Structure 1
Amino acid sequence: MKLFKSSTPEQQLASLRSQKCEVKCEAEHIQPLPGNARVDPCRVQGPAETQKVAQKIIEGKTPTPTEVVNYFNNELKKRICFLDGGMGTRIQAEQLEEADYRGDRFKDFAEKDANGIPVSLKGNNDLLIFSKPDMIKDIHKEYFMAGSDICETNTFNGTTVSQGEYKMQAVVHEMNKTGAELAKKAAAEVTKQEPHKPRFVAGAVGPTSRTLSVSPSVEDPSFRNVTWDELVTTYKEQVSGLVDGGVDLLMIETVFDTQNCKAAIYAVDEYFRETKKEKLPVMLSATIVDNSGRTLSGQTIEAFYVSVKHANPFTVGINCALGAAQMKGFYKKLADMNSGWCHVYPNAGLPNAMGGYDEDPEIFSTNILDYAKDGILNFVGGCCGTFPSHIAAVCKKVQDCPVRKLPELPKYPSMMLSGLEPCHVTEEAGFQWVGERCNLMGSAKFKKLVDAYKWDEALEVCVAQCEKKSDILDFNFDSDLIDGQSAMGKFMKLCVTEPTIAKLPFMIDSSKWPVVEEGLKCVQGKCIVNSISLKPGEEEFLKHADACMRYGAAVVIMAFDEKGQAATFEDKIRICQRSYKLLREKLDFPPEDIIFDCNVLTIATGLPEHNSYGIDFINAVAEIKRTCPCVSFSGGLSNLSFSFRGLNSLRDAMHSVFLHHAVPKGLNMSIVNPGGLPRYEDIDPKTRKLTEEVILNKSEDGNHVERFLDYAEQVKNPPAAAPAAPTLKIQKSTPEQQVEFLRSLKERGFLRGRAHPATAGLRPAGPLPCGRPRGHQEGCPEDHRGQDPHTHRGGELLQQ
C-alpha cells in the first residue's frame, strides 16, 4: 500500500520549517544563587580608580582582575585602546646571532636532536628573556611609549611543546615568570612617567607547533602528534609562570586551530579552579590564513567565535597572516556578532617576496583609520612587520574616532552551535534535522562497518547524511564489540578532517561519560552532548553539566530522575523544571544551551496507559517552553512507532504527523533519518486521519487505537490483488518467419477475409512472433473487438 507521495529532502525540510512555534515564553530568567554567577568581564560595572591602579603598577604590584576590567570598561566608553606591535619584528631588527641567544647561561648548551645534530638556539626569541633581558624590557618600553595600553610578554613559544624543539622544556615555568616580570618592570617605569594612563601586561600564550585538528600524517588522517591532555598540561604550566610573574591579563593568540585554543581555555579555567585565585581577564585572538576567511583548521571567524564564547572572554579578535585592508571584512563580521569587546592587530600588509612587510607607519595607520571611521574598534595594535613607529602613527590617527559600543544583549538568547561553519538555532531558522545514521543504534549498516573497523566506508555514511540535508550529526559508539571511547576518538578525528562532515555541528551521544568526554576533546566546534539526567542524583548531574560548560558544549537533558523515566505529562514537567532550576541556580548554565528531551514513548501498544504518550510529550514541550526561558527541545522519533517495526511507511507517516503537531509547540530538533519523512500534506488522507487520531489520542467514538491497529494490519497484509490478465510471450522473429506464420494461420482458417501482407503488397507494421502466443487457445480466433491482438513495436510482439 502506498501511504504517501514521495518528496525530496529539501521539500521535506522546507515543509517542517514553514511551521513556526506558537508558544511564547512567559517567564523571567532564574538567576544564579549568590556566588554562583559567571562574570561577564565586559559588563562589570565599577569606578575606574585610575590613580589607585597606576600606583599599584608603579609599585610592581598587580591590580586585581576586577580593577583591570573596571579600568578598561570605563576607558572603552570614551576612547579606543591600544595594543603593542610585533615583538618578533623588533627582535629581528637587532640581527642577533647564536651567541646572543645563548648568552652566558646557555653558552655551553650541547643538546642534540633526534638525528644527533647539535640543537641551534638561534630564533628561540623567548630565550632572550634570559640572555638579553634589558633588550626585551626596552622593547616593551618602546611600545608603551608609543601609546600602547597593553603589551604582551615575550612568551609566544613559552610552552613545553614549543620549547621541546629546542630541548628547553626544563626552563618553561621560569621563562614565563621572568618574561612577565620584565614586561611589568617596563609598565611600571612608563606608568610612573604617565600616571594618568596606567600600562598593563598581557601574558602571551601562543598556539604551539602542534595541532589537534589536523593530522601530520598523509597516510593516517586520524593520527595526531599531540593530545588534548598534553596541551592542557603544557598550557597550564605556562599560565602558572605568567601569573606568578604578575601579568594583568592573558592573551591566547594567533589561533590557527580552535581545538588548541579550547585546550588553552580549559587549562586557564583549571589553573584558577585549582589555585582558587581570581581569574584573570582572557583575550582570544584567531588567525585567518588567507582570503577564504578561515583558520588553518578550516573554521570561519563566526564559527571560531561560537566555539570559544563559553570562555567569557574579555576580548575576541583577529591577528596576523593578513594586512589591515585584507582583514577588515572578516573582522567586521566578528565585531557584528561579538557580544563583548573586540580587538584587531594585523600585519603591516602582506609579506613581500623577501618575507618582509612593505606598509610603513603612514600606510598602516591609514588602513586602520578605515576601521575607526566605521566605529568598529575597541582595541587595536599591530603584528608582524609593525614597529613602535607604526603603533605611534595609529594612536595619533584614530585617537579622536568613535569607539565601538557594546551591543545590547537579547533578553532571550538563542543557541549557537558550530562546526567549520556556525549554526544558529533560532525560531526563525526553524526545525533542525539531527542525522541518526552515524549512530550504532540508528543504522545497522553503520554498526556493521564500525564493528569491522571499516572507517572510510563509515565516513561515507556520514557524508550521505550531510547530502540529505542534516543540520547536525549524531554520533554514538556504544557497543559490546568495540571500545566505544577509542572508537569515538578515532572517528571524531577522521570526521574533523573531512570538510563535508566537519562543517556541521556534532552531537556526541553516549550513555558513558568517558566516551562523551573523548569526543569533546577531539572536536573544535561547539557540540551538543547527548545526554545527561538526574538519574544518578543531583551531584553527578551538576558535575557533568559543569564539564559540558567547560568544554563549551550545549547539552541534552533527559526527563529522567532518581525515580525513573518520566512517562506522564506531570512527571515530564516536574523533572525538566527541576533540572532547569538546578542548572541556572547552581551553575549559571547558559539557558540557551539547554535542550530537553521529554521522552518520546511508544504509542498504540494495546495498553491503555500508553495511549496518551504522544500528546503528553507535545503538551509537555509547550508547558516547558512557556516556563523555562531560551531552552530547545529534541526527541527520538523512532520510539513513537516502535510497535510497528517493519512497517516503515506507516512509521514514517506517524513521525511526520507527530512533528506537524509538535513543532508548533516548541520541538525544534529531532534525531531522524534525513530525507525519509514524508510531508504532512503528502500523506494519504485516510492514513493521516487515523494517525492523527492515535497521536492526539482523540476521536469522536474513542475507538481510534483499535482502528489504527486494524489499519496497521491491513498495511502489513494488504488484500490479494486481482489475477493478472493472460500475458503474451514476446519473441524475436525475422520477416520470413512472420510471413510463414501468417500463411499457416490462413491455411487453418484463422485469417478469413484478411489480406495477407505479402500477397497484398503491404509490409508488416513491425515484426511478429514465430510460434503460438503463450495462453492462446486452439479454436479461439477472437480478434479483440475487431482490433489486431498484437501491437507491433520495435521488433517485439508486446502484450496489450
Structure 2
Amino acid sequence: MDIFKELLKRIIIFDGAMGTQLQERGLKTGECPEYMNISHPDVIFDIHKSYINAGADVIETNTFGANRVKLAKYGLENETAKIIGESVRIAKKAAQEKSVALSIGPTGKLLKPYGDMAFEEAYEVFKEVVIAGEQAGADIVLIETMSDMLEAKAAILAAKENTKMKVICTMTFQEDGRTLMGSDPVTVVVSLQGLGLDAIGVNCSTGPDKMVNIVEKMSTVSRIPIIAQPNAGMPAIKDGKTVYDLMPDAFASYFPELIKKGASIVGGCCGTTPEYIRLVKSVVQDFKPNMIVNKFTAVSSNTKTIFIGGDNPLRVIGERINPTGKKSLSTALKEGDMSLAVDEAVRQQKSNADILDVNVGVPGIDEENIMVKAVSEIQNAVDIPLQIDSTNIKAIEKAVRILRGRPIINSVSAKEKSLRKVLPIVKKYGTCVIGLTVGDNGLPKNRKERLENARKIIETAKEYGIPKEDILIDCVVLTLSSEQEAAQETLEAIKLVKSELGVNTVIGLSNVSFGLPERKLINSAFLAMAASYGLDSVIINPCDDTMMNTLRASMALMNKDKGCINYLNIYGGNTPVKNSSSKKYIKNEEHDKLLYNHILEGKKAGIKNIVEDILAEGAEPLKIVDNIIIPALKDVGGKYEKGVYFLPQLLSSAEVVQEAFKIIKERLPKGTVSKGRIILATVEGDVHDIGKDIVKVLLENYGYDVIDLGKDVKGEVILEEVKRSNVSLVGLSALMTTTLFNMEKIIKLLKQNANVKVMAGGAVLTEEYALKIGADYYGKSAQDAVRIADSFFSER
C-alpha cells in the first residue's frame, strides 16, 4: 500500500508503542529490545499483528536502537544487519498488504562541535541501517525521536542517497516547545523538509493535548504531510510498573483537533497500546487530510527562522566575512584560524544583521575544508542563518551538508553552465539560492535583459523541482561612475521581477558608489530608493551606521515596521544610536572583560593567550575563577533560562571555560579548583547518555569534580562508588519510561545504605514524579543541575 497516495483520500494511521508492549511480554531490564527479533520473533509478530488488528495502516519495525553505536552496548554491533533483516521480515509477515516502516532512532551521541561524533560518522551509522532495511523489504524510513536537526539531517541524507524508500522524520520537543538543541517547530520544518522528505512531524515529547500547538506551528510552513505520534500523557509508577495518565478514550479525543491543525498521519508513542490505536482509528476515520502547501521564502539557523519578502522588513545580509581587501582575514584563513571570521560574525549579529554571508575565497587556499570549518565555528558563535558564498561547487556542497538549518547559496547565474552545476545542489539540500541576472552574454545591459535572465533562472529551477519562493533574484548593481543610467535600470528591474515573476529580490549594494567620493551618501540614497521599488533583502555592512539608519527609516516610511516599533526602540531617546559593535570589538578593553565576553559568546579562539595575559598581570588563579569565570557562566545560565540562549550556546560557553581551566589548573596545587565531587550515572536498562553528558560538561566547567559512571549502571555499582569516593551528591538520569522504575529502586538502595542526596533528571521525568520516588532534587535541565550543586555545596 502506498500511504502517500492514500493520503489524498483519508488519514493514515501508524501503530503505537513497542517498548511497553515488550515489557509486558517479558523483556527484562538490561536486555536488548532489538535482539528479541532474533530470540523471540513470535513475540514481535504478535505485537505487530495486534496493531494491524487495531486498524494501523503502517507497522514500525522493532529497530529503534538497531544501530552499531547502541548495539555495541550489548556486544551486538556486528549483528546490525541481521537484527534489522529479521525485524523487517517479521513486520512484513504481520503487515501483509499494509506498509512497513523502518524505525530509526538517534545514535545517543552528540554531534560535533557539541559532542565527539562527526557528521559523516553519524551518516555512515545510518547508512548501514537503511541499506539493511531496504534489502529486507521495508517500504518507508521512519527517522524518529530526534533532538538534533543535524543528526536528523545525517539520517535523512543516508536514506535519500542510498535507498529509494520514502522518508519520514519526526523530532521530539521539550516542554518549552523546542528540541534539546533549541530548535522550534517552525525552524525544524523550514530546515528539514527540503531535503526530500515525504512527511515531517513530531513524536514522543508530550501527550496529544500539548502536541496540538506544535502541529499548528509546523502547519504554517509545511509543504509536505505532517505526522503526529504523541505519548499517552505523562508517565507514573503504579504497582511497580510504568503507566500513563491518559486512558485510551481521552487520548483519542484530542485527535480531531490535531487533524484540524494540520496532521494527516497519526499514531502513538510511549505508553500507547493497540486499544489506543483502535480508538484513534474510530475517531479520525471520517476526517479528510487538511494539507496546505505553504508558499514563503525563509532561511534558518539551528534556533531561528528568518522570513524574507511580503510584509517582512527588508532583510540585512552581512557582507563582512569576505577576505577580499582584508589582509589580516586572508592570512588568518590561510592558516586555518577562524577567530577573525568568528569575531566578524559576532560583530555583525550585534549590529542587527539577519543573515551572514560567508566567503573564504583566498587564492591557493583549501577552500572546501576551510569553508566547512568556518561554517561550523561561525554557527557555534551566532544564531542567525548563513549564506554560503563561493564559486567552488564542492566547497558549497560540503558546507551546506554539515550546516544546522537552511542556508542561502550565493549564487547561480543565468549562464547554462552555472545553472546545471548549482541547481542540483540547491534541490538536493533544499536551500534558498541567489539568482544573479548575468547571462551567457555577460552583464545585463538594461531592465529587459535582467528580467529575461531572471525568468530563465526561475524556469530552469522549476525543471529541478525548485519553487520560485526559494529564489532571490539579484538584479545586479553596476558602478554609477562608469554607467550612470545602470542604477535606474536596476531599480526598474527590481519592480519588474516582482510584478511579472512574483519572486523576491536581493542586491549587493556597495558596488554602486565605487570610484566616487563620499560613497556612503550614494549607498544610503540608493538603498532607500531600492527599498521603495520593492527590494526584499540587501547585502551590506550592518556595522555601517549610515546604511542601517537609512534602512530603519525606510522601513518605518514603507509601513514595514508596524507601529514604528523597531525605529522607536533604536531612536526613542531622540539621539541617533550608533551600532554597538561598529568599533573594533573590545580590542582595547581590559583582559578580564575580554575573558568574560569570550565565555558569554562561546569563543574559544585566543582564550589561552587571554588567560595567560591575566595571570601575567599578577591575578590569582582562584580569583579568575571566582571573579570572571563563574559570573560569566551565571550570565550564560540566565540567558538560557530566559530563552535567549539554548543548549548549543551553553555547551559552547562551557568549552571556552574548559580551555581556560586548563591553564588555570597548571598554576594551582592539585585539587584546589574543585568545588565538590558528584557522581553521575544513567540508570540500569537505559543506554541513553546525552543528557548526562551535557550535565557533566556544565558541572565540570563550574568547578565540580565529576565521577561519570556511564550508562546502564546498576544501583550496586553506584552505591559502591559512593562509599569508595565518599561522595554526598549523586545525579541520576533516565530517558526511557521503561527505566523509571529502576531509578526508583536505585534511589531506595542509596538512601538505605549511604548518607547521600540524589538529584534526578531526564526527558521522561517530572518534578512531581522525581520527588515521589525519593529524589531530593529535580533537574529539568543541565543548568538546573548546576544550581542544585551550587546550593547543596554552599549549604555544606
Question: TM-score scaled by structure 2?
Answer: 0.63
Contact 1:213 1:297 in 2 (8 A): no
For CA contacts below 8 A with separation 6 or more, give which structure has more relative contact order: 1
1: distance between equivalents of 2:284 and 2:401?
43
The alpha-carbon distance between structure 1 residues 509 and 75, as it changes in their structure 2 partners (threshold 3 A), is same
- Cα offsets for 1:276-295 (capped at 9, x unmatched): xxx4433221111x222111
Matched-pair contact (CA < 8 Å) for 1:446–1:461: no
Deviation sequence 1:510-552 (CA, Å, 0-9, x none): 12122212211221211101113355x44x5324211221112
| Residue 108 (structure 2) aligned to one of 175, 189, 209 | 209
Deviation at 1:315, TM superposition (A): 2.8
Q: Is the CA contact (8 Å cut-off) linking 1:373 and 1:402 kept in structure 2?
A: no
Q: Distance in 2 between matches of 1:356 and 1:567?
A: 76
Give the structure 1 partner of residue 161 of structure 2: 270
Contact 1:214–1:297 (CA under 8 A) maintained in structure 2: no
What's the offset of the Cα at 1:435? 1.0
Q: 1:69 and 1:682 mapped to 2: Cα distance?
A: 50
- Matches for 1:108-123 after TM superposition, within 5 Å: 122-123=30-31
Candidates 494, 519, 522, aligned match of 2:402: 522
1:260 maps to 2:133? no
Distance 1:187 1:440, change over 3 A: same
Could you tell me whether the CA contact under 8 Å between 1:598 and 1:635 is conserved in 2?
Answer: yes
What SS does structure 2 have at the residue aligned with 1:560? coil
2:489 & 2:538 partners in 1: Cα distance?
17
2:556 equivalent in structure 1: none
Counterpart of 2:185 in structure 1 is: 301
- Separation in structure 2 between the aligned mates of residue 470 and residue 353 of structure 1, nearest angstrom: 50
Match for residue 573 of structure 1 among 451, 461, 470: 451
Instruction: Specify the SS of the correspondent of 2:137.
Output: coil
C-alpha displacement of 1:568:
4.2
CA deviations 1:180-231 (Å, max 9, x no partner) are: 121111112xxxxxxxxx6322121223233446522xxxxxxx42233x44
Q: Check whether the contact 1:213–1:257 (CA below 8 A) recurs between aligned residues.
A: no
TM-superposed CA distance for 1:598, in Å, is 2.7
Q: Report deviation, 1:481.
A: 6.7
Give the aligned residue type for 1:184: K
1:617 aligns with 2:490: yes
- For 1:543 and 1:236, the matched residues in 2 are separated by 26
Return closer, same or farther for 1:518/1:681 CA change in 2, 3 Å cut-off.
closer
May I ask how many residue pairs the two structures share in their alignment?
547
1:582 aligned to which of 460, 469, 487:
460
Distance 1:265 1:254, change over 3 A: same
- Residues 212/441 of structure 1: CA separation in 2 closer, same or farther (3 Å cut): farther
Instruction: Find the aligned partners of 2:31 and 2:219 in 1 and give their Cα distance.
Output: 35
Distance 1:213 1:406 in 2: 36
- List aligned pairs for 1:502-513, cutoff 5 A: 502=383, 504-513=384-393
- Asked if 1:179 corresponds to 2:115, the answer is no
Q: Who is 2:783 aligned against?
A: none
Distance 1:93 1:459, change over 3 A: farther
Alpha-carbon RMSD = 3.0
1:480-491 equivalences under 5 Å are: 480=363, 482-491=365-374
Taking the TM superposition and a 5 Å limit, the aligned residue runs for 1:48-197 are 63=1, 67-76=2-11, 81-96=12-27, 122-164=30-72, 166=74, 168-188=76-96
Alignment partner, residue 426 of structure 1: 309
The residue that corresponds to 1:668 in the other structure is: 536
The aligned residue for residue 437 of structure 1 is 320
Question: In structure 1, what residue type is equivalent to 2:192?
Answer: V
Match of 1:641 among 508, 513, 518: 513
Q: 1:594 and 1:325 mapped to 2: Cα distance?
A: 37
**Per-residue CA distance 1:459-493 (angstroms, 9 max, x = gap):** 23212211211111111111137533222222322
1:626 corresponds to which residue?
Answer: 499
2: CA distance, partners of 1:384 / 1:454: 46
SS at match of 1:204: strand
SS at match of 1:73: coil
Q: Which residue identity does 1:341 align to in structure 2?
A: P
- The amino acid across from 2:100 in the alignment is V
Secondary structure of the 1:595 match is: strand
Letter in 2 for 1:436: E
Contact 1:205–1:250, Cα closer than 8 Å, also in 2: yes
Distance 1:679 1:534, change over 3 A: closer
1:236 aligns to what? 127
Change in CA separation of 1:214 and 1:321 when aligned onto 2, cut-off 3 Å: farther
Q: Is the 8 A contact 1:349 1:357 kept in 2?
A: no
On the 8 A contact 2:232/2:271 being kept in 1, the answer is: yes
CA distance in 1, matches of 2:426, 2:340: 30
Q: 8 Å contact 2:321–2:357 — kept in the other structure?
A: yes
Q: Compute the displacement of 1:331 (Å).
A: 2.6
Residue-by-residue CA offset, 1:418-469 (whole Å, 9 max, x unaligned)? 1112222132103110011233238666556545655455423212211211
- Percent of aligned positions with the same letter in both sequences? 27
Give the Cα–Cα distance (whole angstroms) in 2 for the partners of residues 658 and 72 of structure 1. Answer: 50
Deviation at 1:394, TM superposition (A): 3.9
Q: CA, structure 1 residues 601+677, in 2 after alignment: closer, same or farther (shift >3 Å)?
A: farther
AA matched with 2:323: L
AA in 2 matched with 1:316: I
Label 1:555 to 1:123 Cα distance change in 2 as closer, same or farther (>3 A).
Answer: farther
AA partner of residue 409 (structure 2): V
Where does structure 2 lack aligned partners over 5 or more consecutive residues?
552-796
**Residue in structure 1 matched with residue 431 of structure 2 by the alignment:** 553
Give the 3 Å change call, closer, same or farther, for CA 659–287 of structure 1 in structure 2.
Answer: same
Report the secondary structure of 2:142's partner residue: strand
In the aligned structure 2, how far is the partner of 1:351 from the partner of 1:568? 67
Which residue type is aligned with residue 541 of structure 1? L
Letter in 1 for 2:10: E
The answer on whether the counterparts of 2:256 and 2:284 sit within 8 Å (CA) in structure 1 is: no
Give the distance between the partners of 1:667 and 1:551, measured in 2 at CA.
Answer: 26
1:349 aligns with 2:233: yes
Secondary structure in 2 matching 1:378:
strand
Q: Secondary structure at the match of 2:376?
A: helix
Letter paired with 1:74: K
Query: Structure 2 vs 1, CA of residues 123 and 635 (structure 1 numbering), >3 Å: closer, same or farther?
Result: farther
CA distance in 2, matches of 1:301, 1:247: 28
Q: 1:353 to 1:459 in 2, by over 3 A?
A: farther
Find the residue that maps to 2:253 and give its secondary structure: helix
Q: 1:245: how far off?
A: 2.5
Distance 1:489 1:323, change over 3 A: same
CA distance in 2, matches of 1:466, 1:361: 45
The one-letter code of the counterpart of 2:8 is N
